[in-house]
Structure 1
Amino acid sequence: MSSSQPSKVTLTDANPGPETPGCPAVAADIDLSASEYYLNRELSYMQFNLRVLEQAKNQQHPLLERLMFLLIFSSNLDEFYEIRVSGLKKQLGFGRQRPGPDGKYPQEILSELHEQVRLALQEQYRILNEELLPAMAEQNIRFLYRHEWDDNLVAWTQDYFRNEVLPVISPLGLDPAHPFPRLVNKSLNFILSLEGKDAFGRDSGLAIVPAPRALPRLIKIPTHIMPEGDNFIFLSSVIHAHVEEFFPGMRVKECHQFRVTRNSDLEMSNVEVEDVASALQGELHLRRFGAAAKLEVGAGCPSELTDFLLERFNLTEEELFRLDGPVNLQRLMALTAMVNRPELRFPPFSPGTPPALEEGNCIFTAVTREDQLLLHPFQSFIPIIDWARQAAKDPGVISIKQTLYRTNESSELVEALAEAARNGKEVTVVIELRARFDEEENIQFASILQEAGAVVVYGVMGYKTHAKMLLIVRRENGRLKRYAHMGTGNYHRKNSLLYTDYSLMTCDEVVCSDIHKVFQQITGMGKKISPEVILHAPFRLMKGLIQLIQQEKQAALEGKPARIIAKINSLTDPAIIRELYCASQSGVQIDLIVRGICCLKPGVPGVSDNIRVISVIGRFLEHSRVYYFANSSTSMYCSSADWMERNLQQRIEIAFPILKKKAATRILEELEMYLADRQQSWELLADGTYRKNEPGPDESPDGVQSLLLTALATHAMATRL
């Protein structure tokens, strides 16, 4: 393909739905829709989270990073129960049990999940108590439980309790006048069994002590109390030690911590667009008190108290999890800001910046000379921010259009867009208010931009705007010229240091014209558009992918070398999976780098013999989506879309072509580096389990992320990932 002449993708009228025609199995007796060829989505996700947990045991990682992986496992599990498990429970509640492509019903999936989670939590706390806490103690980072407190610490914690804790906690006795309280999602609470009567003669015997979120869950002991090392106590230990002070004259027989995880999926009806923000604000409050999905209690909590809690939360014994340690473990993430031990963290690095994009250079000039391709975090995200800032000040810039799905809390991009609006430029921002768990922040950003004079739209009802696009129109030599940035990740500077994502900065006329059309479709009204080279959902992306897969299949049937490589976060769409099975049966070599959920079964004789699936887990979260089709005139695409039903049919997404040969070749080489990795990769087996790859004696002991750091970043200190 010529590096300067993009080729239009001509699509057939292939139906992207479940009954995609034109894909007969090579073996006529094989039904590629049969449930035996599909893995369950939720159970596949648990496999991913178990791979995250495994990183906590990896002694090649620095000690505090191992702790972070342990806590990320908790955070992931919470969100999984808040969204996916709650969704399954809701199906049961409505009596709408339907099997998925794998043939499993919600009740069956839930039972398997709860058992897997129970075992995983046992392993998580074993790692914490038997591996990480002792190893941290050896490094003079200690977490002291009550039996380890000396007299000085006992006296200090008593003062801390009376000055910092007692004034802000409201204990709740339970009786007919004080019914069981509405407890906030994932909040730390204590259930108490009491003996005696209070001043009013009440003796219900039970009480709840909720710990306000304003109180730190991890408390650093002052150096005048313990001068050696970094020493901490848990808020739960402080409350346990002094809980009787909440109930003077009564005896506390039992005191146990607990936490409930609730349904946090927002449910907005199809209100008018101008009401989206206010409707969403109402939903955000309700999220804190959704239906319960999981109850966690301290390991020693007696059955009479857990039975009481299960009844109040309408949960079953299967949904109860006993934990050998703090129930709100992920709040330990605060530790990273409380200790200064860089030797126990991943070595620091500075993302690389291509010379043309270095600070002070005109980015418009750099992009005019050559498309700029960046791979974050190995290369800096700052040039994208600098470009927006330059556009805000540049007298030649007429308009700026941008999508925002997630961005950091003090967004430099939002500031630049607001400045551009104040400078009289036409600024249009598509803000997705329904970006999960970032809704409130996005509402605030919308307000800031509107006050600055920008036009803010909230996308299209029923379709999340997930595409990552920035379009700048600039007057040059009396003519208007378009520039565009497209990415696989969010406009989030902090995440760009943690997530792997591609960015493309271009002034290609055809690509920029396509981006303009997509923006018009989102912000205006009209019939379907026909971009020249971009594939966009929910209209052309599914059809385009099916056609590209079928082209490889046809090439293989004609005896040509045929290959597909896809790097994505998740693969669940049954129609895409069937097409991949067909291609495999025809001889196409298919390599899939799927970080998380994968419902495709590789290595099934006669079905997926030619499909390999790996997952890479490491220091950085693998987030880039890349599609490669060896026999297509446009062989390489980057995208915001995973191969999931929601991305391909229920979101506004784009897959943008890498038209310049130099850039496409580079991405292909980097994909091959991922496929060759034996240090950070896991291989999916046909039964749905994963096998850790190990480097051979003649293979590099360095992981792909380490190799990319060495190749692309600057001032990267040696580390093995």
Structure 2
Amino acid sequence: MSKNVRMPRRQATQPTQPTVAETHQPELYLSRELATLEFNFRVLAQARDTSIPLLERLRYLSIVANNLDEFFEVRVAMLKHHHQFGSAAPGPDGIPSGELLARIRERVLDLVSAQYTTWQDELGPELVAENIHFLTRKQWTPRQRRWLHGYFENEVLPVLSPLGLDPAHPFPRILNKTLNIAVVLQGRDAFGHEGHLALVRAPRSLPRIIRIPNEVCGAGDHFVFLAELLQAFVDMMFPGFKVAGSYQFRVTRNSELIVEEEEVDNLARALAEELHGRGYARPVRLEIGADCPPSIVSMLISNFELEETDVYRCNGPVNIIRAGMVYDELDRPALKFPRFTSALPIALGNGRKIFDVLGQRDILLHHPYESFNAVVDLLREAVQDPDVLAIKQTLYRAGKDTPLVDLLVEAARNGKDVTVVIELRARFDEEANIRFATRLQEAGVQVVYGVVGFKTHAKMMLIVRRENGHLRRYVHLSTGNYHQTNSRLYTDIGLMTANPEFGEDLHKIFQQLSGLGPVINLKRLLHSPFTLYKSVVEKIDRETTHARNGKPARIVAKLNAMNESHVIEALYAAAQAGVEIDLIVRGACTLRPGLPGISERIRVRSIVGRFLEHSRVYWFANDGEPEIYCASADWMERNLMRRIEVAFPILDPQLAARVYDETLANYLADNTHAWLLDSHGQYTRAMPGEAPPYSAQETLLAKLCNATTTAPARAQLPTTLREEG
């Protein structure tokens, strides 16, 4: 917390109702941007945790680098843009944009330093001890150097286009996040010009990590970064010159797509055109090798129109993110998490038709412990069933190898009415979603791009089936995307049901999305941007009223992130009234817990473990009649105000108890992967103390699925633990 912040003076007596002025004070809120950076320190702690398998730790290091890229591409880029044009109004934390940018830089410098210390001093030596080597030029043996020289000459040099810089050869366009080498040359060229500067851009077609064959190195696994190769043989690109120095650099650019939806005729076409320029948008960060001299730094700053404060020196490869690529290269089970097999719910065993099961009971799915194949099987059964008349589904992120698009295409070709709401603006998935939309349209699927100004972030599927002369609706709702790969890596809750009220609600939502209808009244589902925000605040206020009336009152919520100031105000008021509140917030949380007289009854914890915590669950004690909702929405301003989101109640008492136990009580008991937030915005790792170590994720692995050494091939692991954009 800033030294200039004065906390409101409160007496440590009975809690009282806060005044409006008190709950609007900036010192009651943490910065979203700084809270996001703190999450990456927690991920980096995984890379430094020696109890975690070594290659998993290397992957965590890569994830931090990727998260930092996206942080600059989106959050810093937007902040810098608004600051430059004087439109950056402070958030609830009240920090002016200039000060916030300075504090971001200070914290990023700490994170970058910790990253490279982890790489150089911790992971590097431990990898060598396991006979896994990332070799620098100084470490190459003569035999390795000869092989690498041949590789460079035959595989790399032919695709390079080095560029000398002079008035006739101006500074080129540098693509976002690509590897580049700045070269200082001495001597005269063929036209009599004295030595100059040159740039070498590494095409994306070149592998960033080169594996040296065992016949060259002997036993073990030996890798070389492409940057090392380029710098080692840079003289071959400039014959006749003496190379006085070569320096790695990498530029990060603004990657937020700006499309004025109200002013375009076709959103897909407008986005496709905008995507062409994304890689060359305004620069926001320059990463350079630690040995780069000031003159080269100044030249790069000038050409990218940046400032000194936008430069970050790297004590190692500027694209350290690429180190994680070797994870899939290496068959080292002992250095990875044990494999596991996701289970199918018992109710779906023995080859029973899913429609028959759902006719009798709801099915709950807890991913990744339970298999996403149940969802794929539901859609496949619908595609092949002649009694199914219509299928409606949303797609936000689906993954390039998803079977769902194939099934939706097949459904349309089988004569079923298929409607798919594809969110084209799902950040960094825009191009893939445009391809999916085109393919579906060509198959006769009715494709809708959502609603102008509101991202469609809800995860929902509706199947209409004729049974005994009547129509019946089957529903799937989830906290996570229809993304089969992520379903093995992210924790999410899904519900399959034939509840007619759920079916009617979902029918109305799809009608609204495709027909742009009026505001609708729903019976069971909460719906952003209409009823979800209001309902959450009302349910918090209801607990507040119970507490004031002397009744037990409690709120437990599991979220990816939280920054909506009015929800936070309601939570502060509830805590002061006596409500006990536990928040499990994986990423950025702008609420300050533990403030004397304000939030002493609020506890915030973050779980960072093997799987990305992604499920959103809200639980309200409700005077002995608890309510529990699963949702696609975090308690963030964008989710509650500017997106199409759905929260769905778990009505079956047994399933509701299971969701509470597995996603809330289980995580509140974690004392090995939990981090506890204090009122200053700092996180401290929970320690078992005298209690036995307890891991929520390991408990669910043991409870819900079967560990195995003969499981199918491991899925491609994620390169990011990011907020959905």
Identify which range, 542-551 or 628-637, moves more after superposition: 628-637
Partner in structure 1 of residue 485 of structure 2: 494
Residue 673 of structure 1 corresponds to which residue in structure 2?
A: 666
1:436-475 equivalence runs, <5 A? 436-475=427-466
- CA gap of 1:29–1:149, structure 2 versus 1, over 3 A, is closer
Q: Which amino acid aligns with 2:469?
A: G
1:344-380 C-alpha deviation (Å, 9 max, x unpaired): 0000000111122247331111111210001100111
Per the alignment, residue 533 of structure 1 pairs with 524
Q: Is the 8 A contact 2:183 2:247 kept in 1?
A: yes
Which residue number corresponds to residue 176 of structure 1? 167
Match of 1:432 in 2: 423
Match for residue 410 of structure 1 among 398, 401, 407: 401
> Structure 2: which amino acid aligns with 1:175?
D
Equivalent residue letter for 2:176? N
Cα distance between partner residues in 2 of 1:128 and 1:455? 50
Matched with 1:517 is 508
Secondary structure of 2:214 counterpart: coil
Matched, 1:692 2:685: yes
Alpha-carbon separation, structure 2, partners of 1:362 and 1:502: 21
Confirm whether residue 593 of structure 1 aligns to residue 584 of structure 2. yes
Answer whether contact 1:27 1:606 (CA < 8 A) is retained: no
Measured against aligned partners, the alpha-carbon deviations of 1:383-432 in whole angstroms (never above 9, x if no partner) come to 00011111001001000000000012021011111100000000000000
* 2:628 partner letter: M
Q: SS of the residue aligned with 1:536?
A: strand
SS in 2 for 1:278: helix
Shift of 1:28: 4.4
Corresponding residue number in structure 2 for 1:164: 155
Q: Deviations over 1:501-556 (max 9, x none)?
A: 00000000101111111111111022100101111000111111111111111111
Give, in whole Å, the separation in 2 of the partners of 1:526 and 1:335: 50
- Mapped to 2, the partners of 1:482 and 1:705 lie a distance apart of 34
Matched AA of 2:687: E
Which residue of 1 is the match for residue 78 of structure 2? 87
In the alignment, structure 1 residue 637 sits paired with structure 2 residue 621: no
Q: Relative to 1, partners in 2 of residues 1:456 and 1:287: Cα closer, same or farther, differing over 3 Å? A: same
Alignment match, 1:714: 706
Partner of 2:27: 36
Q: Does 1:276 pair with 2:253?
A: no
Give the aligned residue type for 2:693: P
Within 5 Å, which residues of 2 pair with 1:537-686?
A: 537-631=528-622, 635-670=627-662, 671-686=664-679
The answer for the alignment partner of 2:319 in structure 1 is 328
Report whether the alignment pairs 1:287 with 2:283: no
- Measure, in 2, the Cα distance between the counterparts of 1:701 and 1:306: 49
- 1:202 to partner: Cα distance: 3.0
- Match for 1:353 among 323, 344, 350? 344
The letter for the 2-side match of 1:138 is: A
Mapped partners of 1:629, 1:552: distance in 2: 7
CA shift for structure 1 position 273: 7.0
Residue in 1 aligned with 2:53?
A: 62
1:200-279 matched pairs, under 5 angstroms? 200-203=191-194, 205-271=196-262, 275-279=266-270
Q: How far, CA to CA, are the matches of 2:708 and 2:476 in structure 1?
A: 27
Q: Does 1:305 align with 2:296?
A: yes
Residue in structure 2 matched with residue 704 of structure 1 by the alignment:
696
Contact 2:161 2:201 in 1 (8 A): yes
What letter is aligned with 2:331?
N
Q: How high is the TM-score relative to the length of structure 2? A: 0.94
1-structure distance, mates of 2:693, 2:531: 42
Shift of 1:333: 2.3
Cα contact 2:82–2:88 (8 A) shared by 1? yes
The 3-state SS of whatever aligns with 1:603 is coil
Q: Cα deviation per residue 1:552-572 (whole Å; 9 max; x = unaligned)?
A: 111111111111011001110
The answer (yes or no) to whether the contact 2:669–2:694 under 8 Å persists in 1 is no
SS in 1 for 2:270: helix
Aligned counterpart, 1:393: 384
Letter paired with 2:410: E
> Aligned AA for 1:535?
L
Identity %: 50
Q: CA deviation at 1:283?
A: 1.1
Superimposed CA distance per residue, residues 81-111 of structure 1 (whole angstroms, 9 cap, x where no aligned partner): 0000001100122122321111101111111
Partner SS for 2:182: strand
Which residue is 2:4 aligned to? none
Aligned positions, number: 694
Question: Are the structure 2 counterparts of residues 225 and 468 from structure 1 closer, same or farther at C-alpha, using a change threshold of 3 Å?
Answer: same
8 Å contact kept, 2:560–2:587: yes
Change (3 A) 1:350 1:359: farther
- In structure 2, give the amino acid aligned to 1:524: G
Q: Which amino acid aligns with 2:556?
A: I
Distance 1:375 1:285 in 2: 39
Deviation at 1:696, TM superposition (A): 2.0
Secondary structure of the residue aligned to 2:23 is coil
- Rounded to whole Å, the distance in 2 between the matches of 1:616 and 1:43 is 18
The CA distance in 1 between the partners of 2:688 and 2:236, in whole Å, is: 58
Q: Distance in 1 between matches of 2:43 and 2:574?
A: 31
Q: 1:345 and 1:190 mapped to 2: Cα distance? A: 34
What is the TM-score of this pair, normalised by structure 1?
A: 0.95
From 66, 71, 78, the equivalent of 2:69 is: 78
Deviation for aligned residue 1:592:
0.2
Answer whether contact 1:175 1:204 (CA < 8 A) is retained: no
Contact 1:709 1:716 in 2 (8 A): no
CA RMSD between the two structures:
1.5
| Residue in structure 1 matched with residue 3 of structure 2 by the alignment | none
2:477 maps to a residue whose letter is: M
Q: SS at 2:665's partner residue?
A: helix
CA distance in 2, matches of 1:323, 1:686: 32
Structure 1 residue 717 displacement after superposition? 7.4
Which residue, 196, 199, 208 being the options, matches 2:187?
Answer: 196
Given that 2:73 and 2:284 are in contact with CA atoms closer than 8 Å, whether structure 1 keeps it comes out as yes
CA deviations on 1:276-325 (whole Å, 9 max, x unpaired) are 11100111111101111111111100011011111111111111111111
**Deviation of 1:27 (Å):** 4.5
Query: What SS class does the counterpart of residue 175 from structure 1 fall into?
Result: coil
